[in-house]
């Protein structure tokens, strides 16, 4: 078994509790692999540790145990190869929307001229529908959704190998969300970027992902299941619901969030290496096999 | 509504001013009005035998006279108010900017490094509460120059608020913003320039504004001690001449210049202000 592009090994995160209380173990023994070019979504209840995992993948936070290996190299700090859309946008409030993107592009492409940087940045701002004056405003003068779009443009514009998205469409209305989802898929399928995305939206996950990771509730959360989404691409919002797998997957996810995330929660007594069980749907319904060692199918319509 | 509030506030201010001046004028002994005639003598250091707080009309007359020729220079004890203010401003600004040139980089260092913060904190805590004038004898002895000693006193009194506010502002930069710099692999210098400095600028400017206020307070006292030139010396000299009209006039001038300095820094603070 060759190591995948991104490999998370025995990852645990504990936060020291105030005053002698037991440390808070957010998650424990998280193991997963993500192939190059894969689009992976992770779903779990609020507070289970999704952002914490994402921050560790980004290199911003350190795990208490275990490690992350990307491209055969241990992740030991943040890098331009991993672009992030933060849950709280993290725009620099004293810079205009445009400058928030150009400084990132300039950091990525040090040799580019001002004009190149500007054009490249504008391309991505236009892509998220922020042009025609809005790009010159400061974040405080933009709506929540507009800020989120600036932060998306910033992450996309540096064209990182791995895109880490923390609920990137949370503050967007359905229409904008749809069009940016389409853009995300377009950019992703036109490149060999890998995407790791946190979402609370089950339908969004099925529409976008090759694979959906399901996390149990914390503390001692873990990635319990990995659901393959084998609905062929390109997926159309309107047609995807007619695919025979769609409702099977959707029901499985909703059922997980409603009951099993709780039932499976808690400390694993065996403490063994817990690879998520792989769940795939086909003509014969659910087929779950934890021993299944096969790589996820990375096929997509170009 | 806002405009009318401003207009009403202005009107109220003018009414209060008129009432205060009226009361002041009425409370002043009438015979002082004759002082106008002896103004020239007063200026020459003649001194008024029956000194009393002058009425506003006398102060206005004095102001008119002084401000119509602010830069005359008639020897060491008789210079125009403009020249005196100029000396004071020169001392304040050179001491102040010298302090800023040290306080801001050191504040950055302290703010960025918890080690430096802990190591330097005791020094700052002991040095900060020392009245700047307490340094004066030592400064005079070591520097052997009254002009430079006055500048040093300004330096030492304006350094602390800038140092502490810079350290505080730098240490308090939101972690999210620092993370933005980290994920974009900005070097230390770039991080300081693109993220930390703009993020901390409002706090730093608050410190600078406090410092300039203190420096302007201290320069008057310092110049009374070292003498020679400056607005502080001017006040003291006029007091020795028992020219209370000039004393009152220069008190007002000190107030106005202080206000202008503060306004200038408030304006700069607005330039670097940002809204989260
Ligand atoms: N710095 C910290 N110190 C202590 N506990 C923390 C810290 N950061 C996060 N936690 C805890 O870790 C847990 C996971 O937090 P995290 O932000 O990863 O949740 P999440 O899954 O992203 O939730 P959401 O969906 O609401 O964003 C929470 O219980 C939180 O209280
Ligand atoms: Mg989160």
pLDDT digits (tens, 9 = 90+) for B33-82: 445 555 555 555 544 445 578 888 888 888 888 888 888 888 877 788 89
At residue A299, the pLDDT reads: 36
Q: Alpha-carbon distance B85 to B93, whole Å?
A: 12
Residue B8 touches chain A, beta carbons under 8 Å: no
Residue A83 touches chain B, beta carbons under 8 Å: yes
Strand partners, A227: A212, A279
| Contact (CB<8Å) A140/B179 | no
At residue A295, the pLDDT reads: 37
Element (H, E) at A121: helix A114-127
Residue A77 touches chain B, beta carbons under 8 Å: yes
Higher pLDDT, B34 or B171: B171
pLDDT interval class at B26 (50, 70, 90): confident
At residue A272, the pLDDT reads: 55
pLDDT at B268 over 80: yes
Higher pLDDT, B184 or B30: B184
| Contact (CB<8Å) A104/B184 | yes
Q: pLDDT tens, B218-227?
A: 999 999 988 8
Residue B219 · residue B154 · CB < 8 Å: yes
pLDDT at B265 over 80: yes
From residue A12, alpha-carbon distances to A28, A31, A56, A274 in Å are: 4, 10, 10, 12
* Pocket mutation for ligand 1, best pick of A11, A41, A48 (most atoms within 8 Å of C-beta): A48
Question: Which fold, A1-81+160-271+282-302?
Answer: Rossmann fold (3.40.50)
Q: How far is the CA of A84 from the centre of ligand 1 (A)?
A: 17
Q: Alpha-carbon distance B269 to B250, whole Å?
A: 28
Cα torsion A148, A152, A155, A161: sign: positive
At residue A162, the pLDDT reads: 95
Start and end residues for every CATH 3.40.50.300 domain found in chain A? 1-81+160-271+282-302
Average confidence (pLDDT) over B185-198: 93
* Encoded tokens for B119: 């190591």
| Contact (CB<8Å) A82/B176 | no
Contacts of B201 in chain A (CB under 8 A): 94
Residue B274 touches chain A, beta carbons under 8 Å: yes
- Report ipTM for this prediction: 0.85
Average pLDDT of every residue of chain B = 88
Residue B194 touches chain A, beta carbons under 8 Å: yes
- Which of B177, B185, B272 is closest, CB to CB, to A92? B177
* Encoded tokens for B33: 């009005």
pLDDT at B142 over 70: yes
Interface with chain A: mutation pick from B182, B184, B194, B202, highest number of A CBs within 10 Å: B184
Residue A110 touches chain B, beta carbons under 8 Å: no
* Encoded tokens for A269: 């007594």
| Contact (CB<8Å) B184/A107 | yes
pLDDT at B247 over 50: yes
Interface with chain B: mutation pick from A90, A101, A150, A157, highest number of B CBs within 10 Å: A90
Contacts of B275 in chain A (CB under 8 A): 93, 138, 140
At residue A172, the pLDDT reads: 85
At residue A300, the pLDDT reads: 36
At residue A286, the pLDDT reads: 52
pLDDT at B32 over 50: no
Q: How far is the CA of B71 from the centre of ligand 2 (A)?
A: 67
pLDDT at B158 over 70: yes
* Stretch among A44-53, B78-87, B97-106 having the lowest mean pLDDT: B78-87
Q: In a structure prediction context, what are the per-residue pLDDT tens digits for chain A, which is 302 residues long?
A: 567 899 999 999 999 877 767 788 999 889 999 999 999 999 999 999 999 999 999 999 999 999 999 999 999 999 999 999 998 889 999 999 999 999 999 999 999 999 999 999 999 999 888 988 999 999 999 988 899 899 999 999 999 999 999 999 888 888 889 988 998 898 898 888 999 999 999 999 999 999 999 999 978 898 999 999 998 888 988 888 888 889 999 999 999 999 988 888 877 766 555 788 888 887 545 555 444 443 333 333 33
Longest CA pairwise span in chain A (Å): 59
At residue A297, the pLDDT reads: 38
**Residues B69-271, CATH architecture:** Orthogonal Bundle (1.10)
Higher pLDDT, A277 or B116: B116
* Pocket mutation for ligand 1, best pick of A52, A164, A201 (most atoms within 8 Å of C-beta): A52
At residue A269, the pLDDT reads: 64
Peptide bond into A220 cis (omega under 30): no
CB proximity list for A43: less than 8 A, separation 6 or greater: A198, A199, A200, A202, A205, A212, A213, A214, A215, A253, A256, A257
CB proximity list for A61: less than 8 A, separation 6 or greater: A13, A52, A55
Q: Alpha-carbon distance A279 to A226, whole Å?
A: 6
């Amino acid at each position: 078994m060759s190591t995948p592009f991104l490999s998370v090994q025995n990852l645990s995160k504990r936060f020291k509790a105030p005053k002698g209380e037991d440390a808070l173990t957010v998650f424990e023994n998280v193991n997963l692999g993500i192939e190059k070019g894969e689009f992976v979504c992770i779903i779990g209840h609020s507070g289970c540790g999704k952002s914490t995992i994402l921050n560790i993948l980004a290199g911003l936070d350190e795990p208490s145990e275990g490690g992350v290996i990307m491209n055969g190299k241990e992740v030991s700090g943040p890098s331009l190869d991993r672009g992030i859309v933060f849950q709280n946008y993290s725009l620099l409030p004293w810079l205009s929307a445009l400058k928030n993107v150009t400084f990132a592009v300039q950091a990525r492409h040090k040799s580019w001229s001002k004009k190149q940087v500007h054009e490249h940045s504008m391309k991505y701002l236009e892509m998220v529908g922020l042009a025609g004056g809005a790009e010159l405003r400061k974040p405080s003068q933009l709506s929540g959704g507009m800020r989120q779009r600036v932060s998306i443009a910033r992450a996309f514009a540096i064209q990182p190998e791995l895109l880490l998205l923390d609920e990137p469409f949370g503050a967007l209305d359905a229409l904008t969300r749809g069009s940016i989802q389409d853009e995300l898929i377009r950019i992703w399928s036109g490149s060999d970027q890998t995407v790791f995305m946190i979402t609370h939206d089950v339908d969004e996950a099925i529409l976008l992902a090759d694979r959906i990771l399901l996390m149990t509730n914390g503390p001692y959360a873990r990635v319990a299941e990995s659901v393959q989404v084998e609905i062929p691409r390109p997926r159309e919002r309107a047609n995807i619901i007619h695919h025979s797998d769609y409702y099977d997957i959707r029901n499985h996810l909703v059922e997980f969030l409603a009951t099993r995330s709780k039932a499976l929660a808690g400390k694993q007594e065996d403490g063994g290496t817990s690879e998520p069980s792989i769940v795939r749907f086909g003509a014969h319904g659910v087929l779950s096999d934890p021993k299944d060692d096969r790589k996820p199918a990375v096929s997509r319509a170009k | 509504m806002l405009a009318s509030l401003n207009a009403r506030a202005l009107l109220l201010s003018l009414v209060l001013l008129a009432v205060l001046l009226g009361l002041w004028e009425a409370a002043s002994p009438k015979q002082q009005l004759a002082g106008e005639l002896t103004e020239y003598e007063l200026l020459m250091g003649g001194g008024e035998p029956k000194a009393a707080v002058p009425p506003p009309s006398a102060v206005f007359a004095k102001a008119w006279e002084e401000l119509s020729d602010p830069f005359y220079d008639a020897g060491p004890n008789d210079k125009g108010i403009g020249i005196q203010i100029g000396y004071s401003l020169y001392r304040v600004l050179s001491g102040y900017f010298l302090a800023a040139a040290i306080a801001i980089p050191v504040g950055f260092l302290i703010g960025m490094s918890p080690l430096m913060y802990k190591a330097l904190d005791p020094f700052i805590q002991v040095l900060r509460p020392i009245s700047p004038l307490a340094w004066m004898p030592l400064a005079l002895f070591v520097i052997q120059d009254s002009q430079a000693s006055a500048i040093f006193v300004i330096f030492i009194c304006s350094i602390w608020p800038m140092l502490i506010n810079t350290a505080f502002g730098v240490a308090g930069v939101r972690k999210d913003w620092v993370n933005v710099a980290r994920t974009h692999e900005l070097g230390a210098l770039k991080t300081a320039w693109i993220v930390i400095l703009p993020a901390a600028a409002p706090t730093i400017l608050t410190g600078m504004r406090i410092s300039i206020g203190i420096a302007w307070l201290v320069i008057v006292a310092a110049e009374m001690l070292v003498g020679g030139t400056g607005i502080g010396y001017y006040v003291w000299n006029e007091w020795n001449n028992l020219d209370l009209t000039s004393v009152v006039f220069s008190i007002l001038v000190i107030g106005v210049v202080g206000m202008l300095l503060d306004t200038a820094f408030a304006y700069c603070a607005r330039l670097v202000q940002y809204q989260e």
